[in-house]
A and B are shown apart, each in its own frame.
Chain A
């Protein structure tokens, strides 16, 4: 019987199917961080059991860590306590732990792929909704709650009903200045934040075939923002080239065996999806959000929609604009901003820093802008230095911080002050997400860079055009 990519991976991991109930799904690789794991470890302690397969779990500190002076003790006692708990739990259960200062430390969804923990055809979970990132490699990867973290630690399984299948095709060639982030924000704006709830999405078509692994990770990362359980892309040469030789990927004859399996990982031609959507690449422009959920995005050159044109509750829409202190019908271009955040598991990889640098090169940071540039990992940080990007950034008046989740969720000191506007390359513009009262405009690294040097919302194509003329 013909199967989708998703079916192939899911079905091969079902330990047991329960009639009128969930599947018992075996988890190949499990990532843990300090925030959603301590109560799970406590559960194991209370039950008097150990982690069943510690070699399948990897721990890093990222959500709650400072992005400056990581060599010093963490000042916030609650954060310090949580970090200490993770270290102790990892040590007690023989789980590899890459804490603050470790050369492999970084955001969990950046270091997984970087170190070859993420491979095609695997099931990967983490107590974090952006685990969908790893789907870029043709893995089934999704976020879980702490009860499920405890299940994986104790039994290497979770119990979930099988989601429905959706395929989203984007065909053709992307316009200038349109990045993977824009593709994702465009799709979410079309589907809304609940449009893919109950589904696992496969991304297909020219745009994804031609996309780098970094770009695919950005797209899959944002799958959760339209409600999807996860998103995935069939592995191909781009995928295999990326993972080959990384620390945890198979070597020698194991690689050949793995490749035999990985090369079967695609949706069969006549495989059936519960829902299929197709978009044309040339419909997509650089995007920006204007509201308080990631579905409230639009082409940067458009005006904020009118409440009457909204498909959904008008009161919720108006509440959102009120929070942002924006009015319906206004243009976004030209709106003043206060902060720029480049980073997160969505856009904290080397390609994102290259894109940001391409705009700020030869320009200066606007005086009214505070910019937080936070690499996704130490490896990204190293690459930024090696490629000379750091010099470009510093010359333009920017400073590079140390890796972590940072202002994406503002658990650490990197909080956008109340009422201030931040153009952020992260994933959520919810009320208070980047700090109590903070106002977030989600965008690509190019849009963020354009805002950083002009001090206002600016179409990056304008700055790129200037260059073309020079």
Chain B
């Protein structure tokens, strides 16, 4: 499914300085029963966000009105566990377009890239700087510049570059997805399949 183009994103950010945030926390399995891709944002971090009676947990960051924005900043090893793309959908549907961490789990990173959420991996030291800056001022803005592969804390001017492979970068910049690419080389695939017994 094609998605919105990503170029330069300037936004405040939501801090979540917890390590090993797994995709069961991002969206618990009992909310994976849909047959269409909609409404997952409502259940993003469901069990951290709401009590069992449905009332919001006041001390959870998404329920704290001083934090908002299109960037989610998480601790090391963000998105581990289940391959459910619903986790990336929930992040997107809630309104985040970028997740920053010092380390991402593989499948979650791939899922994000496939649906138009940019995973930005920074050094542990830079991640600490971001958390510190947001703690000092929740209105701190970050700038994620995809063409230049650079993330900047605007209040302090501190920045760091990040990696993304050229192919995925072009996809994100143009809103292309992998199926568009694959369908274009269908002849190569069919030839390959012809030589590959079941």
Residues of A bordering B, CB below 8 Å: 13, 15-16, 18-22, 24, 26, 28-29, 35-36, 38-39, 42-43, 46-47, 49, 52-53, 55-56, 63-64, 76, 78-79, 81-82, 85, 127-129, 131, 143-148, 150-151, 154-161, 163, 193-194, 197-198, 224-225, 227, 229, 254, 293, 295, 312-313, 315-316, 319, 409-411, 418, 428, 430-433, 436-437
Contact = CB atoms under 8 A, between A and B. Distances in A.
The bracket for how many chain B residues form the interface is 35 or more
A436 B24 contact: no
A224 B106 CA distance: 10
A411 B32 contact: yes
B84 A36 contact: yes
Nearest to B183: A155
Contact of A39 (B25, B37, B80): B37
Given A15-B192, A147-B111, A36 B29 contact: no
B168 interface: yes
Nearest to A127: B83
Contacts of A19: 166
A38 B193 CA distance: 25
B186 to A, nearest CB: 7
8 contacts: A18-B167, A20-B166, A21-B168, A22-B168, A128-B82, A131-B83, A227-B77, A432-B47
Contact of B19 (A128, A312, A433): A312
B36 A38 contact: yes
A63 B179 CA distance: 27
A160 B110 contact: yes
A155 B196 CA distance: 14
Contacts of B189: 15, 24, 26, 52, 155-157
B15 interface: no
Contact of B115 (A63, A147, A158): A147
B22 interface: yes
Contacts of A76: 33
Contact of A129 (B17, B83, B179): B83
Given A24-B189, A144-B110, 15 more contacts: A15-B189, A19-B166, A24-B182, A36-B85, A38-B34, A39-B85, A49-B183, A144-B107, A145-B88, A155-B183, A155-B189, A194-B76, A197-B105, A316-B75, A436-B28
Contacts, number: 203
A145 B111 contact: yes
Given A155-B189, A194-B105, A431-B47, A56 B198 contact: yes
B178 interface: yes
A22 B165 CA distance: 8
B69 interface: no
A379 B7 CA distance: 52
B164 to A, nearest CB: 10
Contacts of B192: 15, 26
A409 B82 CA distance: 10
Interface string B7-24: 000000000011110101
B77 A194 contact: yes
A312 to B, nearest CB: 6
Given A16-B188, A146-B85, A193-B77, A26 B193 contact: yes
Contacts of B186: 155
Contacts of B84: 35-36, 145
Contacts of B36: 38-39, 42
Contacts of B37: 39, 42
A319 B81 contact: no
Nearest to B115: A147
Interface in B161-185: 165-168, 177-179, 181-183, 185
A78 B72 CA distance: 30
B48 to A, nearest CB: 8
Contacts of B86: 146
Contact of B106 (A15, A229, A409): A229
Contacts of B25: 430-432
B62 to A, nearest CB: 16
A197 B166 contact: no
A436 B52 contact: yes
A151 B106 contact: no
A281 B167 CA distance: 43
A236 to B, nearest CB: 22
Top 10 closest pairs, chain A to chain B, by CB: A21-B167, A145-B85, A143-B83, A145-B111, A38-B35, A78-B33, A147-B114, A20-B166, A155-B182, A129-B83
B182 A157 contact: yes
A21 B165 contact: yes
B20 A193 contact: yes
Contacts of A53: 193
Interface in B22-68: 22, 24-25, 28-30, 32-37, 47, 52
A254 B198 CA distance: 11
Contacts of A161: 165
A227 B165 contact: no
Contacts of A194: 20, 76-77, 80, 103, 105
A193 B80 contact: yes
A431 B196 contact: no
Given A155-B186, A193-B80, A197-B106, A28 B178 contact: no
B190 to A, nearest CB: 8
